[in-house]
Structure 1
Amino acid sequence: MSASQAHSETGVPRWARTALESVLEQTAVTSTQVGDRFPLFADPGTGRWTTTGRGSWAGGFWAGLLWLRARYTGDPGDREAALRCTDRLAPWADADTATRGLILWYGTALADTPETAALRDRAAHACRAAYDGELGLVPWGSAFGGPRLLARVDGVPGMVPLLATVDERAAESHLRRHLELCLAKDTVRWSWRYERPGNWTPCDDPPPGWSRGPAWLLLAVADAVHRLGTSDLKDAVRHLAPTPAVPPADEAHPEGPLDTSTAAITAVALLKLGHTDRAVALLDDLVHTHLSANGRLLDGCYDLASGTATRHELIWGNFFLAYALAALTGLVGPHEA
Structure 2
Amino acid sequence: MIVTDARAPDNPITWANDAFVAHTGYGLPELLGRNCRMLQGPGTDAAEIARIGAALAAEEPISAELLNYRKDGTPFWNAMTITPVRDADGVAYFYAAQADMSHTHQLELAMRGTNDELERQVAARTTALSAALEQKTALLHEVDHRVKNNLQVISSLMLLKARRTPEGEARDALQGMAERIGALSTAHRMLYAEGDCTHFDLGEFATELLSDINAGLDADRLRIEAQVEPIAVAAAMAAPLALLIHELTANALHHAFHDGRSGTVSITAQRHADGIRLTVRDDGVGLEAAPPNPAGFGRNLAEMVVRQLRGRIAWAAATPGTRVEIDIPLRGSA
Indicate whether the TM-score tops 0.5. Answer: no
More strand per residue: 1 or 2?
Answer: 2
Q: TM-score, normalised by structure 1?
A: 0.24
For the pair shown, the structure with the greater C-alpha radius of gyration is 2
Q: Which has the higher contact order (CA 8 A, sep 6+)?
A: 1
